Amino acid sequence: MYYILTAIVAAALALAIYILIKKSTLKGQSEAIIEKARIEAENIKNEKIFQAKEKFLQLKADHEKHVNEKNAQIRETEQRLKQKENTLNQQTNELNKRLSDAENAKKSLQAQREILEKKTDEFHKLTAQVNKQLETVAGMTAAEAKAMLVENMKAEARTEAQAYINETIDEARLNAAKEAKRIVINTIQRTATETAIENSVTTFPIENDEIKGRIIGREGRNIRALEAATGVEIVVDDTPDAILLSAFDPVRREVARLALHQLVVDGRIHPARIEEVVGKVRKQLEEEILETGKRTCIDLGIHGMNIELVKLIGRMKYRSSYGLASTPSWPREPVSCTISERYRKRIRSSLTPFLE
């Protein structure tokens, strides 16, 4: 029993000591926690104070910047207002000056008007005096003199008008015959041709499709260069062994035909060579046209004609009219020194209106 009581007392003492130690320990921990919390609170407080100061400084800087901008805008606005005020003052001064000048000009015009009215009155008085003196000298009144002058002017106007009418009628009669002949000739050339389409196309024969392809060239550059150089439309279709040269101008068709012939014979077909050959052929054909015109004038007994008219006569060799085409067919023979009788008659009939 003694041992049990001793054990109980010892346990009670141990428990009491443990409780005291635990309380002491908990008290130290609580004080440490409280101190730590106080330090953290102090840090948070200092940090918040610092952030508040920074925010205050930032807001202060933004406010000062905004105030400075507003002050700058106000100064700029004041400067613009001053400039406008100066401009308005200048305009006002200029307007006052113009008003002053206008007032002076008005006064000057008023004075001149008064002087003019005085001189007008004087002129009327002098005119009346002169008219009275003239009536006394001529023995007739002013109305009678005016009537006589009007009659004389009417008679003179009738004479001049009749002369002008007669001259106009004579000129109209003279020009009517020439104009009628010109209209008839142009009408025949434009409307009397029944084979106009056939006469505006020349067929150029080729040996095979290979030559046709060389004439066309890569992507059609050769045929485009030939059309641009000659002014002739070149039609390449499914027609075997032939190319069509289409143009209303027979001389251009002849240039294109001869140039194609030389290019095919030579074998070198490219844009630069095409321009060179077309230039040479055109020059040769112009010389041939001039020579043909000269020979035609000699055969017709016409001398001293202007060189341009001689060229026009030579070009008539290639002209199509009255349903007859004179453009030579392929192959073309050299120009003969003898001109056919039909060619002479056609040229003489065309030149007759201009030789009369």
Same-domain status, 203 and 345? yes
CATH number, position 247 = 3.30.1370.10
Same-domain status, 205 and 331? yes
Confidence bin at 35 (pLDDT 50/70/90): confident
Same-domain status, 166 and 216? no
Contact 192, 324 (CB under 8 A): no
- Domain membership of residue 106 (yes or no) is no
The tokens describing 132, both together, are 């009275």
Same-domain status, 218 and 280? yes
Q: Among 257, 317, 255, 246, which residue's Cα sits nearest to residue 283?
A: 255
Helix or strand holding residue 160 (H, E): helix 142-191
Q: Which domain range does residue 199 map to?
A: 192-355
Stronger pLDDT, 335 or 171, i.e. the higher one: 171
- Domain membership of residue 81 (yes or no) is no
- Domain membership of residue 241 (yes or no) is yes
- Domain membership of residue 89 (yes or no) is no
What are the strands, taking DSSP E only, across 206-326? 233-235, 242-246, 320-321, 324-325
Same-domain status, 197 and 331? yes
- Domain membership of residue 111 (yes or no) is no
Spatial separation of the C-alpha atoms in residues 71 and 83, rounded to whole Å: 18
Same-domain status, 217 and 338? yes
Residue 339 has pLDDT above 60, yes or no: no
- Domain membership of residue 313 (yes or no) is yes
pLDDT at 265: 85
What pTM was estimated for this model as a whole? 0.37
- Domain membership of residue 13 (yes or no) is no
Same-domain status, 201 and 301? yes
pLDDT at 341: 52
pLDDT at 139: 64
Residue 213 has pLDDT above 50, yes or no: yes
- Domain membership of residue 22 (yes or no) is no
Spatial separation of the C-alpha atoms in residues 259 and 263, rounded to whole Å: 6
Per-residue pLDDT reduced to its tens digit, 60-93: 889 888 999 999 999 999 999 999 999 999 999 9
Contact 214, 269 (CB under 8 A): yes
Q: What is the dihedral of CA 254, 259, 260, 264, to 10 degrees?
A: 140
Residue 207 has pLDDT above 60, yes or no: yes
Same-domain status, 313 and 180? no
Same-domain status, 199 and 172? no
Same-domain status, 174 and 223? no
